[in-house]
Amino acid sequence: MNSRLETAPKVALVEDEPSHALLIRYNLESRGKEVSLFESGDQFLHAELYPFDLIIINVDLHDIDGLKLCEQLKKKGVTAPILFATTNPKIEEGCCQGPQVKYIIKPFSIKDLVHKVDQLLTKQFAVL
């Protein structure tokens, strides 16, 4: 049996708005995810990164644009799926396109958040 399926999915949450971070973290943890919170893009980039199954990034971080953070993560070889949370419904997806990337527009419902998270994690854990 795949040992990754026996443990809780590990989610990195890069969110600098405390109320959003609390809401997202609570709702994902209550659904069996292990959530690590990073309060800035810089904190996430300089953390000792263990393999995350999913990364959720606020595009509108105060210290770095979320899309630029995505570029830096790709340069570091990070391959985890990414869910961008943004207030801009016309966001330019730039470098971060593809089946492993989804966007959710703030404000969003918890139902929509959980659906997108589950979609990305299902793809991550799919056995081909």
**Rounded to an integer, what distance in angstroms lies between the CA atom of residue 83 and that of residue 91?**
13
- For residue 109, what are the domain limits? 3-125
Look up the CATH number of the domain holding residue 43.
3.40.50.2300
57-77 per-position pLDDT tens digit: 999 999 999 989 988 988 888
pTM: 0.88
Domain count, the chain: 1
d(CA 27, CA 42): 25
pLDDT digits (tens, 9 = 90+) for 19-34: 999 999 999 999 999 9
DSSP 102: E
